[in-house]
Amino acid sequence: MKKTSTRLADGRELIYYDSRDDTVRDAVDRRPLDRTVTTSEVRRDPLLGDAVAIASHRQGRIYHPPADECPLCPSEGDRLSEIPDSSYDVAVFENRFPSLAGDSGRCEVVCFTSNHDASFADLTEEQAALVLEAWTDRTAELSHLPAVEQVFCFENRGAEIGVTLGHPHGQIYAYPFTTPRTALMLRSLAAHKEATGGENLFDAVLERELADERVVLETEHWVAFVPFSAHWPYEVHLYPRRRVPDLLGLDEGARTEFPQVYLELLRRFDRIFGEGEPPTPYISAWHQAPFGTLEEFDGVVREDFALHLELFTIRRTSGKLKFLAGSESGMNVFINDVPPENAAQRLREVASS
């Protein structure tokens, strides 16, 4: 992998990740852009104890542009985009409309391919491996920023999810705090460790799932399963067999095997609802240990956390979506219409050839 860092016209960082070591990236951003001005602010909710990012500047972000005006495609002739070069393998840049900025963290966009009409599932294993390298490198780099405590790599796919740009891409949020969802995991981890005299909760969950009927696929280095208490109609958790706290901890075997496993899962998601259905909308989210102190979680250290990916769709059946209504949005109590065992069976049935 070759990494080339440069700057866009307004000062934002752009990084190219290339498969070939001899690739030259010297294209200049020719757009007449002013410096990016953001109004991001993190506010604490005194009742719930969580954080809310207030970012009013995001109201002006680009919304469903036509394909020939896509800002994530390579620049070509007089059509200038966020990517100055005429082609790229993987490109990462600071979001022009970030939810978090400055002392409030950082937001980046990850372009998986220059092909506007592709999706992650269309990538080759080599391309997917390069995306994994980019996620890992950005996790390492962002963890060194003074304001950053947790790094979150994720992909939103589909208009139903709220995606406003159709080009295949994901995002990275570098938070200045430990996110509420991760904090819940860490508290459960601490409580289980104390109650069992030191047993790791993630290890126990993985052992239980391996012994049950919800495993979707397993390889030498990875296990994918529908969790016992799945929140979403079709939800898969992907764990490396060897527990590591973040992407940096993956060994060579897990890295080599990941593209095959992950691409297979994404392709199965597109088959869930049968032929002729539109692409399955999904969220794919990496959960990594925070880089800050864990003192508030008694007895827990970073190495206790288990890196894992959660992949889920909001489509519950053909033509119907799972909406977060009263119980989910008002009380955070999920109601799942699809038994996890049935979801796992369906995902095994649609295995690609």
Active site amino acids = 169
Rounded-to-integer distance, Cα 241 and Cα 104, Å: 34
DSSP bridge pairs for 309 = 238, 286
What is the Rg, in whole angstroms, of the alpha carbon atoms belonging to the chain?
20
b/e per residue, 225-256, with b = 16+ CB within 10 A?
A: bbbeebbbbbbbbbbbeebbbbbebbeeebbe
* Neighbouring residues of 330: CB distance < 8 A, sequence distance ≥ 6: none
Q: What are phi and psi of 149, to 5 degrees?
A: -115, -25
Under 8 Å between Cβ of 42 and 50: no
Rounded-to-integer distance, Cα 316 and Cα 15, Å: 37
Under 8 Å between Cβ of 16 and 91: yes
